[in-house]
Structure 1
């Protein structure tokens, strides 16, 4: 049995986000009014060979801390399901 984990990584508040700024600027140029701050992140989906959801979440969180997110400038969230 496998469990799917989704890790969402986003820049921490206060950290410059040039990709988000570029997306916001492009949306304004395309005529989309009323868009405030844009923050761009990434989503990583993992299929884990684990049967216990709690263990799967712990493993995915360790992966996020050690590789998937730069915890100095990014935060992450792990969802199991």
Structure 2
């Protein structure tokens, strides 16, 4: 995710608690979605879609933080 910001992500993961929480939640959702789609755990299509929307919202928030941090 965001390879162009790899160094900045590393920096923010050590200095920005809010960023870390969003980043970890995004990764947790990503893994949960993969498990659901692979039918490791049962879920409806609607449940999976809701998780994907939440994940996308988190990704948008992370991108906003990265853009602001890179402009500073």
Q: Indicate the TM-score class for this superposition, using the shorter chain for normalisation.
A: 0.3 to 0.5
Which structure shows the bigger proportion of residues in helix conformation?
2
The TM-score with structure 2 as length reference comes to 0.34
Q: Which one scores higher on RCO, CA 8 angstroms, separation ≥ 6? A: 1
TM-score normalised by L of structure 1: 0.32
Larger Rg: 1
Answer 1 or 2: which has greater strand percent: 1
